[in-house]
Structure 1
């Protein structure tokens, strides 16, 4: 698909909105101030209710609402997003916000690797070099957590990045609209959290923050990000998760005065610089190829 096509522009706009909206996820979880399972239950249930209401309204007003679960591939994508919701919430409660979002930045490189293995979209040498540099950044963050009690949370963040990258790659391979599949996926964390909360009781100090998260932030963010692969490549979609990498620690610092540890800042800086440099190189390379094509085939 040409980078200048209207569909590509639509994909960029969708994923930009989704990525920006997602940056408020962790701050709202922190503001709600509740235990792991209570937050997961409340967030998942409000997301599910909002999703079904939006889908029913869409279907009633326009009649062309996408399928909630488009076939077997939709089931797999929903399962991956559902599991990622559980591992993500686990990582938030077992490591720092900065560690979580910096490690999640590795999502784009996982997507590039999976696109190569599953779709035959071989990454450029520059992408492979960037992946190696990013692996070093993640290693710095994770190694600093050894002995600090954050290692489990860091590993859950790595698993989350892998699950999301897998969902993006499968969505891309089908070309189907997976926007609602990513949202209906909250049935999985909801089913896991419900019996836990039934045992311990609901414990959320400020539930309105997590209701806002589940009813607005999650539907907008994941519908846009899960629809993106219909128009963009997997690595391109994954790049927009970087907005959370950059902005979420800033929101948390402004609200909670939580300053990331030095190794986290160092590893995060490596991740961001590597990805920005890679993105700029791809943009410049694409323009040069387009210019060369125009010279070979003058109008």
Structure 2
């Protein structure tokens, strides 16, 4: 599937091949895999100022994404991508800047469990937005899988929900879910627009905002090494995978695959930091994992393949 910009107006494409959707699903899964390392990496960082962490994480993500695009498209091609992303790209940039910033800040106000529970609603929000705004059909199996995933994540975090509730923290967690769902729908809808520069711009916006709020920028060499991994592997590589893969599959399916992030996150913390997950976490994770596997198996064998919605893009230079 070509990753080049389309003309101003594009009609519905022929049915997507099963191969294209498998590649898209794999890339979105890899993005969730990269993002799932976030909690594990953050545990190694000693810096106490959340804004300093957001700043360096975003700076390293920008450096990686710029280098990736320069390697793939050349200097002139990269500049052309930024010029051609238009309003859809700007909207996606704002969504990712909001989500990545709110995630780090929300951790200072509420529990990880509450944030994960909010993120479990991303597939439902994405499916709802895509249906309301663009009438993108959502299969019954996808709706069922979304419901089971939300139930499974609720079981995973249920033991922590009795803690202190922060309206600010939980409000930020809700903003994260809305921002991720919106970015997923826009990326799918405007599939003729390459969103890698948009994710890069989003990380740059987050760095600028965090830089204005941070009390200091100096960190230890050890922290800088982990911040490099936090920005390049966790954020930058995850954004690159997502921006490429989410264009190739329905918005609800892309958001559903993103649920692997809260599913895998506790596993890495357990393996690396020795934090043994609770029984409810294991049971809920098993529910989520089974729902995702069954749904993916059904999607890959379903015929005919779904058609991509018509796209009305923004004016882009050749």
**Which of 246, 254, 257 in structure 2 is aligned with 1:229?**
246
Match of 2:308 in 1: none
SS of residue in 2 equivalent to 1:33: coil
Instruction: Measure how far apart 1:227 and its partner are.
Output: 1.9
Match of 2:200 in 1: 183
- The unaligned stretches of length 5 or more in structure 1 are 291-299
**Which of 163, 169, 178 in structure 2 is aligned with 1:162?**
178
Match of 2:82 in 1: 68
Match of 1:296 in 2: none
Distance 1:138 1:244 in 2: 11
Match of 2:213 in 1: 196
Distance 1:266 1:216 in 2: 29
Instruction: Measure how far apart 1:214 and its partner are.
Output: 1.3
Q: Which moved more, 1:207-216 or 1:171-180?
A: 207-216
- Going from structure 1 to structure 2, the CA distance change for 1:150 and 1:268 (only over 3 Å counts) comes to farther
Tell me if the contact between 2:263 and 2:285 (Cα under 8 Å) persists in the aligned partners. no
- Going from structure 1 to structure 2, the CA distance change for 1:140 and 1:8 (only over 3 Å counts) comes to closer
Tell me if the contact between 1:97 and 1:252 (Cα under 8 Å) persists in the aligned partners. no
RMSD between superposed Cα atoms in Å: 3.2
**Which of 17, 31, 38 in structure 1 is aligned with 2:52?**
38
Name the one with the larger helix percent. 1
Instruction: Measure how far apart 1:241 and its partner are.
Output: 1.7
- The unaligned stretches of length 5 or more in structure 2 are 1-13, 306-318
- Going from structure 1 to structure 2, the CA distance change for 1:248 and 1:143 (only over 3 Å counts) comes to closer
Instruction: Measure how far apart 1:225 and its partner are.
Output: 0.3
Between Structure 1 and Structure 2, how many residues are aligned? Answer: 286
SS of residue in 1 equivalent to 2:40: helix
SS of residue in 2 equivalent to 1:230: coil
Tell me if the contact between 1:101 and 1:248 (Cα under 8 Å) persists in the aligned partners. no
Task: Say yes or no: does 1:15 pair with 2:28.
Answer: yes
Q: If the length of structure 1 is used for normalisation, what is the TM-score?
A: 0.79
Higher RCO (C-alpha under 8 Å, 6+ residues apart) = 2
Match of 1:28 in 2: 41
Distance 1:54 1:133 in 2: 37
Instruction: Measure how far apart 1:160 and its partner are.
Output: 1.5
Tell me if the contact between 1:105 and 1:242 (Cα under 8 Å) persists in the aligned partners. yes
**Which of 96, 120, 128 in structure 2 is aligned with 1:113?**
128
Tell me if the contact between 1:44 and 1:186 (Cα under 8 Å) persists in the aligned partners. yes
- Going from structure 1 to structure 2, the CA distance change for 1:146 and 1:169 (only over 3 Å counts) comes to same
Q: If the length of structure 2 is used for normalisation, what is the TM-score?
A: 0.75
Tell me if the contact between 2:188 and 2:246 (Cα under 8 Å) persists in the aligned partners. yes
Instruction: Measure how far apart 1:43 and its partner are.
Output: 0.3
Alignment map for 1:1-299 (pairs within 5 Å): 2-35=15-48, 36-60=50-74, 64-65=77-78, 67-68=81-82, 70-97=85-112, 100-101=115-116, 103-137=118-152, 145-149=160-164, 153=169, 155-175=171-191, 176-197=193-214, 199=215, 202=218, 206-260=223-277, 268-284=285-301, 286=302
Spell out, residue by residue over 1:37-94, the C-alpha distance to the aligned partner (whole angstroms, 9 max, x if none). Answer: 1110110111122323333444437x54461360011111110111011122223444
